[in-house]
Structures are given as C-alpha cells and as structure tokens.
Amino acid sequence: MKLQSRAQAAISFALLFACVISCKSSTSSTSSKPDTPQNPHTTNTSTPPSTTSSALTTPLDIAGKYSVVGSNPDGSPYRGTLEVIPHGDVYQFRWSAGTQYDGVGVANGNVVAVAFANGENGKGCGVVDYEIRNDGALDGKWGYWGTNEAGTEKATRTGGSGLEGDYEATGQNPNGKEYKAKLTVEPAGNLYRFVWSNNTDGVGIKQGTNIAVGIGGKRCGFVAYEIRPDGLEGIWGGYGTDKTGTEKATKQ
C-alpha cells in the first residue's frame, strides 16, 4: 500500500477514519506524521493490542494469512501479504506490500472495516462501520488501534436525505461509558465526510447499505472489505483525496 501526503492529494479535506493511504507498490512516498487527532470516543489507545488476548466468539472466520493483490488510486498494481490477528472484539491487520502497514478492524455483518497506517503500529487510527437502516438511521460498531474491545454507536437522522444530512448520535465506549454527539455527513467526491461535534472527523466509503469510516488524521488509511468465502475483497482510500484503490486478499 502507499501512503500519500497532503501535498500529493488532489483534493484537500479539513478532516481526517478518517485518512490518506495508498497501498504501496514497490516504489512509494511517505507522508509526515501529524499530531494525534481528537478521538470521538474516550477509548485509550496508548497501548498496542496484546497478542495474548482471547478472540471474541464470532461466526466470522477472518483470522489467518492472506495473499494480496490490489491497485493504487493511480491504477498501478501491487502485491503482498496480509495477516489478520484477533484481539478481543477487534482484529489487527498487518500488511507487507513493499513496506509494512498495521491497523485495526471491526467486523459488522459481512463487512470488515479497517483503519491503518504506515509502520509497525496503527496508533491513533480508528474505524467505524455503519449499517444504514431503512429509516435512514446508522447502526455502527467502532474500534481504535491498541484497544481490544469495540464500542457501539447509533445515529438518528434529524435532517437531510439519502446518507447526507444531520444526525443525533448516541454510543457506548468499551468501558461502558455512554456518550452523545451531533454528526454531520457531507459528500466528498466519491466518498463521504463525517464530522462529529466533539472535534472529530473522518472519511467514509459506502458500499450498498454499509459505510466504513476511517478516523485518525492524514497518516491513517481505511479499507471496507466484503467478507467472501475465499477471503476479503475491498475498496480503500484516505485523507485528502476522493480517489480509491482496490484490494483482494485470498486466504492461504
């Protein structure tokens, strides 16, 4: 994968899980590391996930090693490997595709949403995966790198149409503490910008009735994978551009 800097982006957002990645081919550029952004939730992300944590009981069997093929937003191809490691309610995603990338993923139905960054850890990156209900409400599950438990969030529409508009969000942190926030969803080219009233923003990829939102600043990228019988198939993007890449991960 390939992480792009803000200067390289065709379109600049004043946001983030949300994020710019670009999965990397054999030649890549790196972006400078920004200050850690404010999180929309109160989860502590200072400690990386423990490899001894027990996995959450789930019917989804996505843990394991994968062979990866993909395309960058400019159309250039890349190949690599991916390891998915369960950590409590969430998953650690560790790529090697010309360089190392590390991130956190949450599974929600047949979709797993991932936020990641260049390097050996994804500290500061978070992800929310929402299912869009028939009444326009958003029903989500979220996680941050370094925290083994997931939180939840429900957002009820108060204005707008389609996905765009204003919402009242209520959620619960992994420690059980509840929170409330206002949420605005705006179009951003092929993507969507999510802005919470607690000084957090992100970028989302919509697929059908699901939208995956990455949070964490320009060093964080995000992927929305559909879980398939033979592996994962996804679309990825990041902060500063509405262009997206694709990735298919086949289980070894």
Q: Considering just the CA atoms, what is the radius of gyration of the chain in Å?
A: 16
pLDDT at 199: 87
pTM to 2 decimals? 0.75
- Which of 205, 142, 144, 207 lies closest to 169, judged by CA? 142
- Tell me what pLDDT residue 56 has: 35
Q: What is the dihedral of CA 47, 28, 232, 191, to 10 degrees?
A: 90
Q: Closest by alpha carbon to 217, among 93, 57, 69, 34?
A: 34
Nearest in space to 153 (alpha carbons), one of 35, 20, 21, 43: 43
- Tell me the CB-side half-sphere exposure of residue 12, using CA atoms within 13 A: 5
Q: Are 227 and 245 in contact (CB under 8 A)?
A: no
pLDDT at 32: 31
Please give the pLDDT value at position 218. Answer: 85
Using CA atoms, how far residue 58 sits from 63, 115, 208, in Å, is 11, 20, 23
pLDDT tens series, the chain, 252 aa: 554 433 333 333 333 333 333 333 333 333 332 333 334 444 443 334 433 333 333 446 899 999 999 999 999 999 999 999 999 999 999 999 988 999 999 999 899 999 999 988 888 999 999 999 999 999 999 999 999 999 999 999 999 999 999 999 999 999 999 999 999 999 998 899 999 998 899 999 999 999 999 999 888 999 999 999 999 999 999 877 888 999 999 999
Integer Cα distance of 8 and 108 in angstroms: 32
What was the pLDDT predicted at 86? 95
Structure tokens at 11: 């379109």
pLDDT at position 193: 94
pLDDT computed for residue 60 by the predictor: 67
| DSSP letter, residue 48 | P
